[in-house]
Structure formats: C-alpha cells, structure tokens
Amino acid sequence: MRLNVVSDVHAAVESLSRAAEGADIFACVGDLALYLDYDDPGTGAFAEVFGESTAREYVALRTRKRFDEARMLAARRWEEMTGGAGREERTASILDVVERQYRDVFAALPTPALLTPGNVDVPAIWPRFLRPGHQVLDGSVAEVGGVRLAMVGGGLRSAYRTPNEEDEQSHAARVAALGPSDVLLSHIPPAVPELTYDVVARRHEVGSKALVEYIRQYQPRFALFGHVHQPLAARTRIGRTECVNVGHFRATRRPWSVEL
C-alpha cells in the first residue's frame, strides 16, 4: 500500500492535482495558505493587502527577529492606507485573500484525501471549500486498508503569532488522546534539534515535545511532518520510528511517497 504525503503547499496549485498519482492513500499535513513568502515577498496574502515594498520590509524585520517592529510597521501602513480602519477590517482583508487561495487549492487537491491544518491555516473556513472525499483529521485517527493513521495539525505558540497556534498543554492533550498508530502525521516536527533547525532562516522552529513522547510510547512505523522548509536533517530515528520531513511542496512540487 503506497502513501503519498505533501506539506506546506502555500497556495501552490501547480502539480497538486497529480500528487496522489500511484498512491492508495493521500495525505496533506497543512499550510495550504500563503500568508508571507520569505523567498518571494511580492506574493502571498500580506503582499496583496500591503504591497510588495511593505512586505519586503516586513520580511527583513522578521528575519532579524524584530517582531514588535514588524507588527508596528504593518499597523502603521494599515493606518496610512485606510485612514484608521480597525483590526477587524484588516483581518477581513487578509481573509479575503486566504479564501481565494483556498478556493483554488481545495479544487486542485486530489480526492480522496486525509487533511490536517498547519499553523498558518484558518481551519474554521475550510468547510466552505472541502469536496467529497476530503476528510479532515486533527487530533484523531483513521484506518485505511488496515493501516492506522493518526493526524494532529496546527502549531505551538511562537513569536510569529501565526493564526493556528495553541499552547503546549492543549497540544499535548490532543496528541495523548490519539492512541496507537502505524503512521503519525503532524504539521510540526517532533522537538528534535536537527529536525527543527532551518538552515536558510538560521533558526529553530518550534517542535513538539508531546510528539516525541508519543513516538517513544507507541513507536509508529513512521512520523511524518512538514513546517520546516529547509531542515538541517530531513529524517532521523527515534527508536524504531522513522521521522521524516516530507518536504516543502511549494518548492518541490512533488509528494513524499512510501510503501507501507
């Protein structure tokens, strides 16, 4: 039985419809939306709302970890653009772009598909775009052909304040409730330094200690995840479990595949 997995689609619909070719099971582990593209700041929801010049300045500040200054920049530009429209209007403008992205991405996603959201996703609006055969699993398990697949999405609290983050306690509770599985699929990686470090951004992304504990307890055959676009290590082992970063689909345009 072949499993194809993608992560970090970030609104890249090219090749997405073919990502399930040859697979018996297809899964996507999140980040379907593109809020901000560090490699191409002229694209993404932020650039559509604020313009490429502001997006480039915003990326530069965040890259230097000057997060408060970045937020102040966005607030100042919004004030200049709108003459004082509030936070709700600003959020609505971003969501308008995200909804357009979702319309295209969900139309291109193969069916059937198992889906879990990423940290930049807005899962509350997913039901508007899901098609027959799309099954969302976030803190739950599906059995396909005798294979148990556990999926948990979202991210942990970070300095980036992305839309779909939660505290460690609630995340750990959702992971603990999964029970045993053959394949663990999550958006963020286990908290293993070589898996969380991004060699281009030169920073550690936030990994999950709860996922490490789950893997040690249940030893699934695979733990598959995304989130870190350019990891120091794309794979490692925790006991018998092969931990694999399935890749940045927006950059590679191809799924990660394995025979189960």
Task: Categorize the per-residue pLDDT at 90 as very low, low, confident or very high, splitting at 50, 70 and 90.
Answer: confident
201 lies in some domain: yes
| Tens digits of residue pLDDT in 159-189 | 999 999 999 999 999 999 999 999 999 999 9
Cβ atoms of residues 189 and 197 within 8 Å: no
Task: Categorize the per-residue pLDDT at 88 as very low, low, confident or very high, splitting at 50, 70 and 90.
Answer: confident
Question: Can you give the residue range of the structural domain that contains 200?
Answer: 2-32+112-259
Grouping H, G, I as helix, E, B as strand and the rest as coil, residue 197 is strand
Q: What is the CATH number of the domain that holds 11?
A: 3.60.21.10
208 lies in some domain: yes
Cβ atoms of residues 257 and 18 within 8 Å: no
Q: Which residues of 130-144 are buried (b: 16+ CB within 10 A; e: fewer)?
A: beeebbbbbbbbbeb
Supply the DSSP string of 51-102, one letter for each residue.
Answer: -HHHHHHHHHHHHTT-HHHHHHHHHHHHHHHHSS--HHHHHHHHHHHHHHHH
Centre a 10 Å sphere on the Cβ of residue 99 and count the other Cβ atoms it contains.
Answer: 15
170 lies in some domain: yes
Length of the chain: 260
48 lies in some domain: no
Q: Which residues pair with 113 in a beta bridge?
A: 134
Centre a 10 Å sphere on the Cβ of residue 93 and count the other Cβ atoms it contains.
Answer: 17
78 lies in some domain: no
The domain total for the chain is 1
50 lies in some domain: no
| Tens digits of residue pLDDT in 20-73 | 999 999 999 999 999 999 989 999 999 999 999 999 999 999 999 999 999 999
pTM for the structure as a whole: 0.95
Residue 202: its pLDDT value, please? 85
Task: Categorize the per-residue pLDDT at 141 as very low, low, confident or very high, splitting at 50, 70 and 90.
Answer: very high
Measured distance CA(36)–CA(69) in Å, rounded: 16
Backbone angles phi and psi of 11, in degrees to 5:
70, 10
53 lies in some domain: no
| Tens digits of residue pLDDT in 191-201 | 999 999 999 88
Centre a 10 Å sphere on the Cβ of residue 248 and count the other Cβ atoms it contains.
Answer: 21
Hey, which bits of the chain come out as E strands?
A: 2-6, 25-28, 113-115, 134-136, 140-144, 147-152, 155-156, 165-166, 183-186, 197-198, 203-204, 222-225, 235-238, 241-245, 256-259
| Tens digits of residue pLDDT in 113-135 | 999 999 999 999 999 999 999 99
The CA angle 109-175-101, to the nearest 5 degrees, is: 25
160 lies in some domain: yes
